[in-house]
Amino acid sequence: MSDPTRPQSPKIIAVANQKGGVGKTTTTINLAAALVELGMRVLVVDLDPQGNASTGLGVEPEQRDRTTYDLIMGDVDLAEIIQLTHTEDLYVTPATIDLSSADIEMVANEKRSFLLHDALRQYAIDGYALDYILIDCPPSLSLLTVNAMVAADSVLVPLQSEFFALEGLSQLMLTVREVRQTANPKLRIEGVVLTMYDQRNNLSRQVEQDARENLQDLVFETVIPRNVRISEAPSYALSVLDYDTNSKGSQAYRALAVELLNKRS
């Protein structure tokens, strides 16, 4: 039962697609940065053992003493795990390769699917006054991803504008349905966002047409273009909005953030 004395909980969105290389981490980082520009306070939970979201937000490996692994598996003070990035109001729980063993360790825990859910609802998180929590999921439908879906209000799916893009999406939707039936009845699909879109390319246009015909209103109007600035930004540990604020990539992620907020209003 919810506590009426607590402040309103942040909206939690799992950014998930079991296929790698679809722009999942890129979308997590840049959507978070765009939401912060709009006045939101945002936490990125790096749930991928590769730790790319942590690197992209400027958290060096030697700064990751306490990580998302501790958030899920350990009895660690939240203040030791959550780090402020170089962008005001944008926080991160960093990840390391330690997370790769969490799947195995969680199996023996009877609350294995609810560990992240409970961690993100402890009283200490109220002090950060967060509006959004974005969870960067690993590229698999593992127990970590299930934890993200159980913890989340919704799932945002990046879909690359390339051949076979829709393959595997049915499996992701099936997992969402299973989580909804067994552990999180309020879970919904936030939407599908087309990434790496090249409007000069017939294939990109065909993928968009197929996605909109099959998924209809689930597909965001905003598409994320294939843009060199988006690709370069992580090597400087910056969001594309900070790296090149006027680039097409920055404009697209700002539009996505506005569309997301408008869908929720």
CA separation for the pair 264, 143 (Å, rounded)? 28
The answer, yes or no, to whether residue 17 has pLDDT greater than 90, is yes
Strands (DSSP E) contained in the chain are 11-15, 42-46, 83-84, 90-93, 132-136, 154-160, 188-195
In order of 30, 116, 183, 185, the CA distances from 179 in angstroms are 27, 14, 5, 7
Q: Is residue 235 part of a domain?
A: yes
The answer, yes or no, to whether residue 199 has pLDDT greater than 90, is no
Report residue 136 as tokens: 């960067």
Out of 6-20, 127-141, 147-161, pick the least confident.
6-20
Q: Is residue 5 part of a domain?
A: no
- Tens digit of pLDDT for each residue in 48-84? 999 999 999 999 989 999 999 999 998 788 889 999 9
Parallel/antiparallel/unpaired status of strands 90-93 and 83-84: antiparallel
Q: Is residue 253 part of a domain?
A: yes
Work out how many domains the chain is built from and give that number.
Answer: 1
pLDDT reported for residue 5: 65
Q: Is residue 118 part of a domain?
A: yes
The mean pLDDT value for 41-53 works out to 97
pLDDT reported for residue 107: 86
* pTM for the structure as a whole: 0.95
Out of 39-53, 159-173, 179-193, pick the least confident.
159-173
The answer, yes or no, to whether residue 8 has pLDDT greater than 90, is no
- Tens digit of pLDDT for each residue in 106-126? 888 889 999 999 999 999 999
Q: Which of 234, 261, 255 is nearest to 24 (CA)?
A: 234
- The amino acid occupying position 137 is C
- Residue 20 lies in domain: 11-260
For all residues of the chain together, what is the average pLDDT? Answer: 92
- Tens digit of pLDDT for each residue in 128-146? 999 999 999 999 889 999 9
Is-contact 33 90, C-beta < 8 A?
A: yes
Q: Is residue 4 part of a domain?
A: no
The answer, yes or no, to whether residue 185 has pLDDT greater than 70, is yes
Q: Is residue 91 part of a domain?
A: yes
Report residue 199 as tokens: 């409007």
Which strands form 83-84's sheet, in the order they lie side by side? 83-84, 90-93, 42-46, 132-136, 11-15, 154-160, 188-195
The answer, yes or no, to whether residue 12 has pLDDT greater than 90, is yes
Q: Is residue 3 part of a domain?
A: no
Is-contact 159 17, C-beta < 8 A?
A: yes
pLDDT reported for residue 146: 95
Q: Is residue 194 part of a domain?
A: yes
Domain of residue 39, CATH code: 3.40.50.300
Q: Which of 259, 28, 22, 13 is nearest to 159 (CA)?
A: 22
**pLDDT tier at 207, thresholds 50, 70, 90:** confident
